[in-house]
Amino acid sequence: MNFNSKNPFLSNKRFSSNAVSKAEEVHQAQIIDYNQEMTLSGTINKTAILFLILCGSAMVTWWMAFNGLNVMLPAIGGAIIGLILVVISAFKPQYSPYLAPGYALFEGLFIGGISAIFEAMYPGIVINAVGATLVTFLVCLGLYKFKIVKVTEQFKSVVVAATLAIATYYLISWLASLIFNFTPVHYGNGMMSIGISVFVIIIAALNLFLDFDLIEKGVQERMPKFMEWYGAMGLIITLVWLYIEFLRLLSKLSSKN
């Protein structure tokens, strides 16, 4: 079973004063208080809100799966709608206060569904994947906070290029498997497949540093309040990606036993 994943927020990974200025011009007549500035505490609070929405939504499809109901439709539908909301937000960050909660809601349906499927196949895998994701997040946060890892322009370029390469590889592999009955090397539980999963997890973790930097720069540059939702959404997207990749890796390791 394969669940391709990537961070679609990548194309708009850093704050831009020009982007914010355009947003202000377009929405100057709407009820958005641009005099309010983005704060770190506000972003943290909104990240917590999105996380709770995500978990609450995931519990719905999780409950459905373990009560014998078909979760494929809400899971796939949630993934598609979540992706659409992310793409819109990437181009229209001023809509993030509305799009971010919507993304968390629909993506939660997807996460709950695939988590239940993996759990049924490999009991105990979900708690291990959650734990691995949490530990990775805390380690990366500590490394960033204490300036052990510094997000330079070169660092950003390498991580963005690697993430794009992964996304391109997943897309091409998926298309090739549909058209030519081709089996991508990241399928199965071979050493090559496991190695690819480990590499993807490392790149996903490095994206956390870009998210931390994005939020910090937004606060420093006194971006509008709606950017708190935008930053929180970007962080949740990366965490979801990281969690899915841990599920994939742990499933490969479990199937070898």
Q: Where are the alpha helices (DSSP H) in 8-69?
A: 17-26, 40-65
**Tens digit of pLDDT per residue, the chain (257 long)?**
444 444 545 444 444 444 455 555 544 444 444 458 999 999 999 999 999 999 999 999 999 999 999 999 999 999 999 999 999 999 999 999 999 999 999 999 999 999 999 999 999 999 999 999 999 999 999 999 999 999 999 999 999 999 999 999 988 888 887 788 777 778 888 899 999 999 999 999 999 999 999 999 999 999 999 999 999 999 999 999 999 999 999 999 998 76
Give the span between the Cα atoms of 216 and 40, in whole angstroms. 7
Task: Identify the pLDDT of residue 23.
Answer: 52
> What's the alpha-carbon Rg for the chain, to the nearest Å?
19
Q: What is the reported pTM?
A: 0.86
Give the span between the Cα atoms of 61 and 139, in whole angstroms. 30
Using CB atoms within 10 Å of the CB of residue 86, give its burial: 0 to 12 exposed, 13 to 18 middle, 19+ buried: buried
Give the span between the Cα atoms of 40 and 42, in whole angstroms. 5
Give the span between the Cα atoms of 52 and 94, in whole angstroms. 22
